[in-house]
Structure 1
Amino acid sequence: MASSQRPDYRQDYIARIRYSNALPPPPCPPKLLDIPNTGLSSGQYTSAGFASRLAREQPLNIEADAELGMPIDLVGLPGVFDGDESAIQSLSNPPALHPADRALMRPPNALGKATASAAGASFLRRTEYITSSTTGASKFESSNSSNTMRVRTKRRRQVDISEDDPTNIARHILKGFNLAYPDDAYNGPDTADNLRAAEIVPEDRQAWKMPKHPVNPNLTCIGTYPLLPDWDAMPDTGSYMAYKFMAPPINNPNDPSYDSRLDVALLRPAGQTVEDHNLYVQEQEAHKQDPTIPLPIPRYDFELFLPPDREKVHGIKRNFTTHDPDNDTEIPFDETQDEDGRAKKYFKYELIRTYETQNQVGDPENTYGDVVALAIHDPEQHEEEPLRGTKLQKAAYFYPIIQKTNLRSRRPGKVEMALEEPKVDIIETAARDPDAEVERRRTVRQRYDPIGA
């Protein structure tokens, strides 16, 4: 009898069990948007236009109340319950944006773009040291307490004091006057009438003693001029007007030199067009609603008059000067006889053309605020014929400008005028003593110089 023994095989059963560790859903589940899948290769997800398009297409799923979730307490706001809502309205002339906030006003397409490279070398890696130096961050050699406090103090000053702050600008302007006139410096506390100037450092005193050109340091200062007002040249209106011709008023191809007749030219107001009149009325209404807007100045058309020839220029200047006013022997007048047979002395001016106001800016209430005229006078170098009875010292004299006007030739044709002056082709002019004008000039000077007027 044959018996066979089968081998026994033992096999272990391995069961792999996975335990779930899923997080519970959040109490406020996020809102998932169904975005069309265009793929990452298109690059739309990284552009600012993609997010802007989603913001336009997706409606706001917010249940807002009448106060939009932000209750406003109107108690304490002036005039709100009387119907005056100006206290809660946006300002028509908002203040200037602070330089530190300009980065927040950048458009979406400018976000994420670097404004400066690492020291201009494209092959360098943008390491921490390069980043701190290019962005203007403070750094110090060692980490001791003195350096750390110095860096913190510097940062605090940059935050507290802004270069565009009006008070800071006024302090630095006063610092320049204190450098020039240290005896008149005000060192008391800040009040409504007196403001303490910025601190004068040794570098400022050195720069005052040895001035250097801001662009070319190799230049040397050979002379200085004090800045003074010229009260004797103050006009009756209290300020001057600057006119700029958009095209040369005298265009002679045969003689391209400067025509000296422009020094004694006359501009006569010829009237006001309907368009300029309506614009002036609108600007007056805007000034009444917002007094911070400069007082408007009316616009006029002007007629340009010049003497017939250049030989008359010297006589005209001599006639209008205050130097030796009773001496008329050297003045070549244009003489005629009047109805009584007496000699009539004058200078003849002829009409050249009519101009219209293209652009005009100015503030009648602040003639020294925007632009001033400057004339440098040195008696040792200026050997021209004297034009006034008094002598001027060496100085740079400034003159107020009430308005700046650009003039262009008026096109031919009929122009609808709201106010039109009679047509004039020839003007006869001569100088006289300023009788009534002296008191007006003294009044203007007393407004700025009460002691010397």
Structure 2
Amino acid sequence: MSKKSDLLVRVRYLNPVPNPPFPPKLLDISTDINRLGEPSYLNHLAASTQLPMLVDSEMGMPLDLNEYDGIWDGQDQSLNPALDAGRVHHPIDVALLAPFNPPPEANGDVKAPVATEVSWMRNNNYLTRKNNARRKEAAEAKAEEVVDASEAAQIMAIEKSFHDLYEQDPKEIKHPDKKKRGLTVVESYDILPDVESWENSYALVRFPERPSAATAINPAATASSPRLAKAILRPIREDEDQQLIEFYLPKEEDLTNLEEAYERAIPSDEVDNVYAVTQEDPNDPTLPDIFSHVHYDRIRMYEVLSAAPPTKEILVSFQEDQNDGEQEDGSDEDDERPKKRRKGVYYHEINFRTLLRKTRAKRREEVALTADLWDKAVVGYRQPAGKDEKEREMSKAQVSDPTWVNEELRKSRGGDNMAELQGEAIQDEDVELDEEAQKIEAAVHEEEDNDED
């Protein structure tokens, strides 16, 4: 057999099934579909189904407990009779009937039995997570270290951190992450609060995608980065559980006019006059003369998914070494030059963080019935009033005034200087003593003078 085809046996005689002598016939049986909805249609099913034998009318579960004696006195023997009440176990056998939970040590306490692990039936990742959870529980079961949370202890811990920082060589600092222990310190910066902008409020807004000027009418519209930097987010409170935000942008050609409007900010006492003019006629031709402004267009509406103050995010800016000609305290020899800050990392807290997502096109029509929506906005600037400047100075004092902490402590304790009694550091040179403290200090000085004499 030189060929593979020699192994095949050809079928030479076929015996197909002959076709039927006549085509199949379809019988049309007339029936009424409504008869299937009649109750009598189920009579033969009910007659052919045998009902099971019922124990009683309560299906074996007693509902009326009044029939059992002593049930309301805590004696349920009649309701729950023992299977073999007369059987008495031998004292030796009673110990064998107890659950088998041997202690891990000879004199140790009895612990709950641990489920046996079957490695070939479990995922390795699952076993690892379970073992890690057990180690964590065992670590938490140990005696917790008592931490002194008093104000004096907290201040001492903060002061100790500064002392340890200056005592330690920066080159010897190791990264806390074991995987990054190979990193070395190249340069160190002082971490300082950003005093110049501390009174400003910053919010971190996360968009579902890069914002643009695209709308339903013009979906291909784009916006430059300077234009996006001048965007306005206007919150709209639809209800207590849901908040919406509208996104506004100026026109590209109005960016220069917006800078001019900032330079021509009107005094605070003229704001009421501008409101009166816009109420009478929003398109008054004299409005640009008394109030420099720019028109903003509504682009789209966003829905707020989450809003909360961040706990692990701050704004930081790096300030390198000062240029030549600048002094140590940050002031220049030439007063006309702009002042620069000292080298360091300046931080600022983020007051708010929110996550946005797009809304449906019909959502705005639904919200328009209950909310105050704007298609356009007139944006200008006014100079801060006395109240605004006072609030900004109070906010700035948190990081610029060295006596701010002491004053807050006095206010929280009813005006008494109790910080020294609790071991806290008070700068007597900067904080003026009250009358009682001055009397005590004078009496101490008199006693010292008498002792010297």
Compute the TM-score of the two structures, normalised by the length of structure 1: 0.42
Compute the TM-score of the two structures, normalised by the length of structure 2: 0.42
**Structure with greater helix share of residues:** 2
Q: Considering only CA atoms, is the larger Rg found in Structure 1 or Structure 2?
A: 2
